[in-house]
Amino acid sequence: MSDDMIAGNLTVRDVGAKDEADVRKLVAAAFPSDLEARLVEKLRHCGALVLEQVALNADGKLLGHIAYSRVTPAAIGPGQGLQVACLAPVSVWPEVQRRGVGTALITASLKRLNELQEDLVLVLGPPSYYPRFGFDPVLARKVQGPYAGDAFMALALTEAGSRDLPIEVAFATPFEEFE
């Protein structure tokens, strides 16, 4: 199957309760350990997820998953009212990676986050991958939290998302396993 055939025939939709077991298998398969799969489950069940979506092929087969969790700004300064989310993780079955599934998920979900009036999105990931979606390590330097460096990037979805910085943030409790 060609790259275009996969990416061009995807449906991206919100995760439903019936998807949870398949999502767990997918996320576990996409990473070297089950740490990310456990993270998604913990974020989901503690109510920290802002958005969780899946990508399906034309036959309805689950090919990818993406999750965003709430990041809380400190209760001081102009950034305290910002709506901040963290992308983590994006998962694609290993046999269909590098065929546009992750790109489709990220693009569709960022559009949805914009509709949900999120101001700022954070990600910790490969600096060679996320800038194509507008994520910027320079902007992320204005966000103080447990992560730093060029792998920590930010994307402002609103004017406030870049104007009301710098801010200090706290990630959802399940992320403590990664710190």
| Model pLDDT for residues 30-67, shown as the tens digit of each residue | 999 999 999 999 999 999 999 999 999 999 999 999 99
> Dmax over Cα atoms in the chain, in whole Å?
52
Give the pairing type, strands 167-171 and 152-156.
unpaired
Give the model's pLDDT for residue 1: 36
- CA-CA distances (angstroms) from residue 134 to 46, 56, 127, 130, 157? 29, 25, 11, 7, 10
What percent of the chain lies above the pLDDT cut of 90?
Answer: 80
For residue 72, which phi and psi values (nearest 5 degrees)?
A: -105, 120
| Neighbour tally for 12: CB within 10 Å | 19
- CA-CA distances (angstroms) from residue 130 to 15, 28, 102, 115, 155? 23, 21, 11, 21, 10
Question: Model pTM?
Answer: 0.91
Kindly report which listed range (13-27, 61-75, 141-155, 165-179) carries the lowest average pLDDT score. 165-179
